[in-house]
Amino acid sequence: MNPAQKALWYIESHLAAPLTLDDVAAIAGVSRFHMVRAFAAATGHSVMRYVRARRLTRAAQALAVGAPDILSLALDAGYSSHEAFTRAFREHFGVTPETVRAATCATRLKLQEPIVMDSTLLDSIKPPRFATSKPLLIAGIAERCTLENGGAGVPNQWQQYHQNVDRIPARIGSIAYGVCCNGDDAGNFDYVAGVEVADFADLPREFARVRIPEQKYAVFTHSEHISTIRRTVHTIWNHWLPISGMKAADAPSFERYDEKFDPLTGNGGLEIWIPVRE
pLDDT tens for 68-105 read 889 999 998 999 999 999 999 999 999 999 999 999 88
Sign of CA dihedral 155, 24, 18, 148: negative
Complete domains list, the chain, with CATH: 3-103 (1.10.10.60), 129-277 (3.20.80.10)
Return d(Cα 76, Cα 262) in angstroms, integer. Answer: 24
CA 4 to chain centre: 16
Give me the half-sphere count of Cα atoms (radius 13 Å) on the Cβ side of residue 169: 8
Q: Is 107 helix (H, G, I), strand (E, B) or coil?
A: coil
pLDDT of residue 146: 81
Q: Which residue has the higher pLDDT, 1 or 167?
A: 167
- Judged against a pLDDT cut of 70, whether residue 1 lies above it is answered with no
List all residues 6 or more positions away from 225 whose beta carbon is below 8 Å from its beta carbon: 1, 5, 6, 9, 266, 267
Q: How far apart are CA 171 and CA 75, in angstroms?
A: 31
The pLDDT score that the predictor gives to residue 8 is 94
pLDDT, tens digit, 9 for 90 and up, residues 204-242:
999 999 999 999 999 999 999 999 998 999 999 989 998
- Whole-angstrom Cα distance, residue 33 to residue 30? 8
The whole-angstrom separation of Cα 181 and Cα 143 is 11
